[in-house]
Structure 1
Amino acid sequence: MARRDLVPTIRTNPLLSDKSKNPKPPTTTPGIQSHLNDHESEKQKMSHDELDHHNPAVRPLTGAALPLSAGRGHLMKGDRHISTDDIGLNRQILGTHAPDHEDLDVKPILSIIEDILLRGKSLETVHGDQVPAHSESYEEKSFRNAYHDSEMVKMLAYPITKITNEIICKCGAGGEAHSVAIGLLETLSNYGWDAKAVITFAAFSVSYGEFWLVENLRVMNPLARDIAALKDIPETMEQKEEMNKKFQAIVNLLRAVLNVTHIIIKFKELPTQYVNRDSPEMKTATVHIPTAVYWIIRGILACASVLLNLIGSGHEFITSTAESWELLSLASKLSHMSEHLQDQLNKLNDFIDRQYQKREFDDMVNAFKASHIDNMKILKMIIRAGENQMPIFDGTRRINERLEVLRMTYVLLLVSDLDLPHEELNILHMIYNQQSTRHQYEVLWLPIVDHAMSMDPTQERQFLDLRSSMPWYSVDHPSLVNPVAIRYAREIWNFNHMPMLVVLDPQGRVANVNALPMMWIWASVAFPFTKERELGLWRESTWDMELLADTIDPRIQEWIKDDKTICLYGGEDIEWIRRFTTTMRNIATTLRVPLEMIYVGKSNPKDKVRRCHEIIDREKLSHIFPLKDFYDYVWYFWVRLASMWNSKIQHGMTVETDKIMQEIFTMLTYDGSEQGWAVFSKGIYNMTKGKGDILLTVLDNFRQWQEKVDHPDKFVPVLDAEISGVHLEHHCNRLILPGQTGYIPERVVCSECGRTMDKYVMYRCCTD
């Protein structure tokens, strides 16, 4: 039996000179960087725990990485004989490469390696008893067995065994690290770079796993105990805290090796239809992979060399300072390589994503141009859904449906973000419910949300609240909207925050890129919402109370049927409103004119309009819209006028030649002034209008023209003549067009004097 005193108490490190009493850190061999900078040197001085903390990208392993069950070995010699020229090293590395197995899928082997590293310490000591630390589920067993049965594992079993023996042999003989690494690369010359790294890693993992089989079973299995005794392996479980400290540097290095290996494999998995291996982008990104594989092998050899020293050391194994520096240096180098390669991989993924998005976008553009038998292809390109998924929500029946429920029907895509104005939603809701022709089409809400940013709980709640308030169909979740469709909406349909209603016909063709103006003006009567239908409706239209306000309030329809005189008035000067309404009621009573007045406020109604509503209601000055929804009704009245203006402009009509445009222009200039105004109508066709100062002048002179009204039907014509007879010396008409109305004409003439109006850009912020 060998005597204990024949075994040296403390091992010497071949990296150090025998004459050196105070060992210094070994010189780091050049790789991607020729030498460690000051920052790296500081990292080398950190404790093992600090290094682990500063490398969060490295995946943690459960349990400490512990020594190989190989023969007694020596730490390999350092790199004192290697040139510091990176180019020379790279040339030497590339000189070993003559691949004929570029396309091997080594992921099954890497999965087994990770499993070995994770399960190496599969038993924990609890009060001296060995108990399983983890019980495999059926899914885990099936998943692992699939890798074990892989043809790739069987095919590479021999080279893995060969490299295992070569590592043990050359490390045990104290070979020079660089020479051994180059030798392994030459042995693996016919494999791709990812396979070289994985085969070498697997070879190390075999010995690593064998050690832990012995270590975990030595307490309960006599055979394992005998093998451990012959190898004189320290009883690490009894010295757990001390041994963990000794091998933490090995754990950090193995983590770095694993991380870099994963990144190298990810390069190989990139889709070649978007970036092939010979493309400039790929060559630039992968130029450092050969060097990274070299340093992976160097890291594995360093771990194997240090761990081989454990065999036969019993309780006396001590890691030297030089060994610790070597492991820390390699871990730091691989960590920096990992960051660099990950950065290059991210750039490639961004490039691929742009290429993919471009191809998908081009496909969508071509699909919208092509002819289809139905609308399913277009809808499925817009909404991403699985084969059995129900991606749309029926707001009326409160159930999910398949896209097929929209097959061969007109689909109105309500495109908006989550800040959908409540007034637009409420009015669209009203139109959707009241029209008998609605069955000819379906509305589908398409929520536009940036997919690059995940929705927070507030946005999720906002989406669900909006969806629940809609009686039509909605996409079940914004994530189902294809990002390419979002880009298409922004670039082709010019979606920019403001809601739009895109009409798809039964074959998926775009019949109208935004039918909201038509919906506001004519509601569902405008179906199928094409430009031809819009032009036809204008040809049928005349300027009357039905066009101006028929759909705003059902009371207006009743007043028209009852042949009453109707007055719409607006503004936000409450004193003018009091004087005007009181005077008009007195005149109507005197002339026995059946008069109904209703206040329509101003566009973009603020607090002043709300206060006017409240005062008018409290003092019974006239009719008003319901106080609860007054904002929606006022908004609806003015957005219809703006939509009429925009529609006429798009069809090439002008104020000079189109009667309706002249009237719309006048109404919009009334809204842009600071005065009150009023429009009067008897029946449908007899109409007149006037601004506040002119109206009050005419009304104050009532005694002069009242005798002309010998019948209630003559009131509006006489009033029109009196208003037309008032000519002010000066006038100032302002036409304010909301920014979202669409096309802004370059030239507009004044309806009062015929001169070209000056054009200004106005920015307004009203906080009344």
Structure 2
Amino acid sequence: MNTKGASGSAKPADAKPAGSATNNDAPKPSPFKISDEQIKEQIFKAHGNDGTLAADSLFPIVVNILKRSTQIVDDLVKGYAKVPPAKTEDTQNVPTANINIPICTLKDIRFELSCCKDPQPETAHERTLKILTNLKAYSWDATAVLTLAAFSSEFGDFWLLVELEKSNHNNLSKSLAILKGASNLTSTAEILQARKTAVIALNDLIKDTLELTDIIFQLENLSSDFPIEIAKIPKETDIYWIMIAVIACGSKVAILTSTEEIKPLDLSPYADKIKAVLTTRKGKLTDLLLKKAEGAFYSDLVKVSKIRTKDPEFLAKLFFGKDYADDNAKLIIDESNNCNKVVLNVLTDKTKTLFILVSYLDIFDDDLDILKLIQTEKIAKDQKLQEQYGIVWMPIVDENQPEYYQKMAKDIVNRVRTNKMEGFVVKPVSHQATLKFLKKEWNFKGSPIVAVKDEDKGIYVNRNTFYTISILGLEAFPFDKRKETEFINAMKWMIPLFKDYSDVGDDKLSTWVKMENNYIFIFGGKDKTGWAKDMKEKRETMLKVLNPDRTKGTFTIKLLDVEQNLDTKERFWKRLEGLFITKINHYDDRPKQQIQRLYSYKNEERGWFALNKGDETIIVGNRTSFSKMMDEFDKWSGKIRPQEFEVAFRDYHEKTLTTLWGQMNCSRVDIPKNAPKVKEGIKCPECDHEMEMSIRYNCCHNFSRVIPILRT
């Protein structure tokens, strides 16, 4: 029998297209049982990322509809069948009248949104992919907004009719409400009460879904500020969950308004997923907005810090962060006035030059005493100086150890009173913009710093004044560049390192340096016994030749071993480190070379020395160069003229040093973490060549003090 017709071969009535049986019989995947990566793979196959729809113009319309509709639901559920009160309209999301809305596309989406017959997750997933396929010509943002728009038009219609029915009682609204199924849900208080839990769950899911969409768009607007972080957010997957949640909401509305027997739909899996994504994205948005605000505040802080006429504004922002404009927040502790709180204007209005101590709360009392000495022994004793200068302690709170530092912050007043600083203290600072400023602009890395006003620029800078104060003491007040240069360039930088040392032998060091013809060899090294003995023998050799008649006392040489005990050693090297830091970016000169040379001998195995005549440092060298000099003493001792031992010693030492370069160990200069950035490299303090740079990390296993880490 011929089965062909006009259109070709006839097919049995129950025949299925090739491949269709396999597709229809295959189990549908539940979105809650597959991974986000699998979802991502499927949605990318279904959807592109093109289109020109202005999602940001359509979204305010959707927001207006859903916010007003969900508010009607809240009022109605809480008051049951009572007429909701009039609401103030949202003026922030005013819809644009001339937007070009794809009406036919919205109708197609509405058709997919509600499914009364099979409202299960598997079906919702399948319909979501279908919508994505149909909207492949639109961007991901537009796809999300169009889906919400299609739902909002139905949801908004429904609750608008409910509101009209309760207030107007006209036949048109009543008839439309019946067709929409509104009467099935809201006709009596009993019916609404019976479905109250389901209605509230639906309403909450709609509100969370709308909020998540808004947050995704806000994050997208931050992409130019944080491109890497925004790129890591799986926006496409988030939009998928928004769409499938909207489909679930559409099905739930159909179920709640129907009188037919329909399969139940539990919204809790959708609500849990949307809530989880919302919590994560909201946290990310909060974090990025905070970072953006901090970045803007930091930029402004840097800007005003460089304008000499804006000291009051700069100090207010530095001390109080975003509260700088709040007069009630701009309070500082005045220790000289029984720790009462006073306004910041007591400092800024008097055009004082401030010494700003920046440190963590666990600063040692010895370090606080340095500033207290300036206040009590210098400023407080001179009325004119009191008008010109002030001391402010700016304690830093590290957020990485909140409990430890919160406790210390509470005790700050007691500590100030105990130390009797007689200066000013601001409340502990923790705002990140200020911490960033301190780290980047003032090179604060944990160790205390003192910022002062640069006399040339008229702005506050960190010139490592803390070390100048701790080393040179009150004699260098007011610790400006002129005073600092005066001390160091006079080669009188060694003696201040020992300003508070106890008696050495039968005399004090302060007495030694006042004697015009008194030579002092300051020395140290890890070979304590051998090097000390060697130094004594070399001193005797020099005295026999240079001062044969001991009774006249015309020539004396003193010895000082600075590493004879641990306390002496630690203080010496700590102070020398501070001196090294103050000179690290100064122009190359002899004082800088000698300071760097001595600092490079910190880990010298055999030994080192520094020759001083009175309070002036003549030369710094190591045991190897000194030993060779003494082996050849007869070659240069005869050239020594009266009162010029130091000249002959220095010249021959530098000549000897050049012959030993190939025999000595490599010179090493360790840059302390709190040192400023080296601008032009460092020259070798021995041979004057440019030193190679390397990075080395140390741990001395000293856990006696907590050193906080500044966050970046």
TM-score by length of 1: 0.52
SS in 2 for 1:503: strand
Kindly report which structure 2 residues correspond to 1:471-550, keeping only aligned pairs within 5 A, or say none. 471=421, 473-479=424-430, 481=431, 483-497=432-446, 499-504=448-453, 510-516=459-465, 517-520=467-470, 522-523=472-473, 533=482, 537=486, 541-544=489-492, 549=497
Does 2:312 match 1:375? yes
Kindly report which structure 2 residues correspond to 1:378-393, keeping only aligned pairs within 5 A, or say none. 378-380=315-317, 383-384=320-321, 385=323, 386-393=326-333
SS in 2 for 1:674: coil
The CA distance in 2 between the partners of 1:202 and 1:381, in whole Å, is 53
Q: 2:668 aligns with which of 732, 736, 744?
A: 736
The CA distance in 2 between the partners of 1:755 and 1:446, in whole Å, is 40
Does 2:524 match 1:570? yes
**1:674 Cα offset (Å):** 1.6
| CA shift in 2, pair 1:427/1:400, >3 Å | same
Equivalent residue pairs, number? 541
The CA distance in 2 between the partners of 1:417 and 1:409, in whole Å, is 24
SS in 2 for 1:383: helix
Q: 1:613: which partner in 2?
A: 565
**1:642 Cα offset (Å):** 1.1
**1:248 Cα offset (Å):** 7.3
Q: 1:332: which partner in 2?
A: 269
**1:388 Cα offset (Å):** 0.8
Q: Which moved more, 1:660-669 or 1:492-501?
A: 492-501
| CA shift in 2, pair 1:665/1:548, >3 Å | farther
SS in 2 for 1:501: strand
The CA distance in 2 between the partners of 1:725 and 1:372, in whole Å, is 50
**1:637 Cα offset (Å):** 2.9
Kindly report which structure 2 residues correspond to 1:302-317, keeping only aligned pairs within 5 A, or say none. 304-305=256-257
Does 2:403 match 1:403? no
SS in 1 for 2:450: strand
SS in 2 for 1:387: coil
| CA shift in 2, pair 1:346/1:760, >3 Å | closer
AA in 1 matched with 2:316: L
| CA shift in 2, pair 1:98/1:441, >3 Å | closer
Conserved? CA contact 1:520–1:639, under 8 Å? no
The CA distance in 1 between the partners of 2:60 and 2:655, in whole Å, is 98
| Unaligned runs of at least 5 residues, structure 2 | 1-26, 36-44, 91-112, 117-145, 164-186, 225-229, 503-507, 702-712
Alignment identity in percent? 16
SS in 1 for 2:32: helix
**1:537 Cα offset (Å):** 3.1
The CA distance in 1 between the partners of 2:88 and 2:576, in whole Å, is 73
Kindly report which structure 2 residues correspond to 1:183-332, keeping only aligned pairs within 5 A, or say none. 253=202, 255-260=204-209, 263=212, 294-295=246-247, 298=250, 301=253, 304-305=256-257, 323-324=263-264, 326=265, 328=266, 330-332=267-269
Q: 2:562: which partner in 1?
A: 600
AA in 1 matched with 2:610: V
SS in 1 for 2:565: helix
Q: 2:403 aligns with which of 441, 457, 462?
A: 457
Does 2:608 match 1:677? yes
Q: 1:51: which partner in 2?
A: none
The CA distance in 1 between the partners of 2:304 and 2:647, in whole Å, is 60
| Unaligned runs of at least 5 residues, structure 1 | 1-34, 44-84, 121-146, 154-175, 180-188, 207-229, 237-242, 310-319, 602-611, 615-626
Q: 2:581: which partner in 1?
A: 643
**1:231 Cα offset (Å):** 7.9
Conserved? CA contact 2:452–2:462, under 8 Å? yes
**1:457 Cα offset (Å):** 1.0
Conserved? CA contact 1:194–1:265, under 8 Å? no
The CA distance in 2 between the partners of 1:398 and 1:150, in whole Å, is 52
AA in 2 matched with 1:387: D
| CA shift in 2, pair 1:425/1:42, >3 Å | same
| CA shift in 2, pair 1:100/1:399, >3 Å | closer
The CA distance in 1 between the partners of 2:150 and 2:394, in whole Å, is 47
**1:613 Cα offset (Å):** 0.8
SS in 2 for 1:298: helix
Q: 2:101: which partner in 1?
A: none
Conserved? CA contact 2:397–2:429, under 8 Å? yes
Conserved? CA contact 2:305–2:459, under 8 Å? yes
| CA shift in 2, pair 1:502/1:264, >3 Å | same
AA in 1 matched with 2:304: A
| CA shift in 2, pair 1:373/1:98, >3 Å | closer
Q: 2:303: which partner in 1?
A: 366
Does 2:683 match 1:748? yes
The CA distance in 2 between the partners of 1:383 and 1:507, in whole Å, is 27
| CA shift in 2, pair 1:114/1:445, >3 Å | farther
**1:595 Cα offset (Å):** 7.2
The CA distance in 2 between the partners of 1:269 and 1:707, in whole Å, is 85
**1:542 Cα offset (Å):** 1.3
**1:355 Cα offset (Å):** 4.6
Conserved? CA contact 2:519–2:556, under 8 Å? yes
AA in 1 matched with 2:463: N
| CA shift in 2, pair 1:358/1:99, >3 Å | closer
Kindly report which structure 2 residues correspond to 1:143-162, keeping only aligned pairs within 5 A, or say none. 151-152=88-89
AA in 1 matched with 2:436: R
| CA shift in 2, pair 1:104/1:446, >3 Å | farther
The CA distance in 1 between the partners of 2:629 and 2:59, in whole Å, is 99
**1:361 Cα offset (Å):** 3.8
Kindly report which structure 2 residues correspond to 1:678-757, keeping only aligned pairs within 5 A, or say none. 678-685=609-616, 687=618, 691-692=622-623, 720=649, 730=660, 732=664, 734-740=666-672, 741-742=675-676, 743=678, 746=681, 748=683, 751=686, 756=689
Conserved? CA contact 1:295–1:334, under 8 Å? no
**1:559 Cα offset (Å):** 4.4
Pairwise CA RMSD of aligned residues? 6.4
**1:360 Cα offset (Å):** 3.3
**1:475 Cα offset (Å):** 3.8
TM-score by length of 2: 0.55
AA in 1 matched with 2:353: Y
| CA shift in 2, pair 1:672/1:501, >3 Å | same
Conserved? CA contact 2:524–2:607, under 8 Å? yes
**1:427 Cα offset (Å):** 5.4
**1:41 Cα offset (Å):** 6.0
Q: 2:16: which partner in 1?
A: none
The CA distance in 2 between the partners of 1:698 and 1:672, in whole Å, is 22
The CA distance in 2 between the partners of 1:546 and 1:115, in whole Å, is 82
The CA distance in 2 between the partners of 1:193 and 1:442, in whole Å, is 67
